[in-house]
Amino acid sequence: MRPHRAYSPGLTGVLPWEEGYHLVEVLRARVGDRFTVFDAEREALAEVVDLGPPVRYRLLEERRPEREVGVEVVLYMALLKGDKLSEVVRGATELGATRIQPLITRHSVPKEVGEGKLRRLRAIAVEAAKQSGRLKVPEVLPPIPLEAVPKVAQGLVAHVGARTLVREALDLTKPMALAVGPEGGLAEAEVALLRERGFTPVSLGRRILRAETAALALLALCTAGEGR
């Protein structure tokens, strides 16, 4: 069986149904096959002992890889049209976000996320964590109005026309709160409100980026660009 990572909260020896189904029905695992299990704190080499259902495994060797950013990274992302939020959740997970908080903004076309879509976004976060070797699966929360964003210790908001560069405003020792608007951008009043909550408007370059691109560019500058 090819190398595989499975998400198993608590490393209890029993895989969640979806993970077990994928291991047995898709990857055709057999008793004795080895794979990797992980949760928010650790990962381990495991061996299949019972195909179930549920699939049961035993731990062989525990590991504690250092693949997290080291501070909390919250992405406040305005709701987007179509399936663009899925792209953001996938990329944000790969880039180290620990929480993804969708926002309802003045120019957001969608104003809500149904339970079915929220479940799908959370499943995408799990898959992206598995693929990228992360331990933590970021929370994907129900949307809130932008006005409900709390005051933060360090915040950066992508804003066309801002002159401050990310590297000039970023403190790697502090938790990061990153905000990105929808396709139509954030209204000036919304940017002003975020300023009051501790966010600094920052530039992502001279070009106009799509909202989903801007979110991943901002995250990449704060994490991958700093070797995090």
CATH number, domain with residue 164: 3.40.1280.10
Asked, for residue 118, whether it belongs to a domain, the answer is: yes
Write out the two tokens for 166.
């990310």
Domain extent, residue 176, equals: 73-226
Q: How many CB atoms lie within 10 A of CB 6?
A: 23
pLDDT tens per residue, range 62-118: 887 778 888 999 999 999 998 999 999 999 999 999 999 999 999 988 888 899 999
Residues 184 and 160 in one domain: yes
Asked, for residue 181, whether it belongs to a domain, the answer is: yes
| Residue 176 vs residues 34, 74, 127, 152, 194: alpha-carbon distances, Å | 37, 6, 23, 8, 14
* Beta bridge partner(s), residue 101: 76
Residues 27 and 91 in one domain: no
Residues 136 and 33 in one domain: no
Furthest CA-CA distance within the chain? 60
The confidence score (pLDDT) of residue 225 equals: 81
CA 193 to CA 196: how far, in whole Å?
Answer: 5
Residue at which a domain ends, from 16, 43, 63: 63
Task: Please report, for the domain that includes residue 58, its CATH number.
Answer: 2.40.240.20
Give the chain's mean pLDDT.
92
Asked, for residue 68, whether it belongs to a domain, the answer is: no
Residues 88 and 178 in one domain: yes
3-state secondary structure of 204: coil
Asked, for residue 29, whether it belongs to a domain, the answer is: yes
- In this model, does residue 33 exceed pLDDT 80? yes
Q: What is the DSSP letter of 143?
A: P
Domain total in the chain: 2
The confidence score (pLDDT) of residue 170 equals: 95
Residues 136 and 220 in one domain: yes
Residues 95 and 202 in one domain: yes
Residue at which a domain ends, from 14, 45, 63: 63
Polymer length of the chain = 228
Q: How many CB atoms lie within 10 A of CB 178?
A: 26
Residues 117 and 211 in one domain: yes
pLDDT tens per residue, range 160-211: 889 999 999 999 999 999 999 999 899 999 999 999 999 999 999 888 899 9
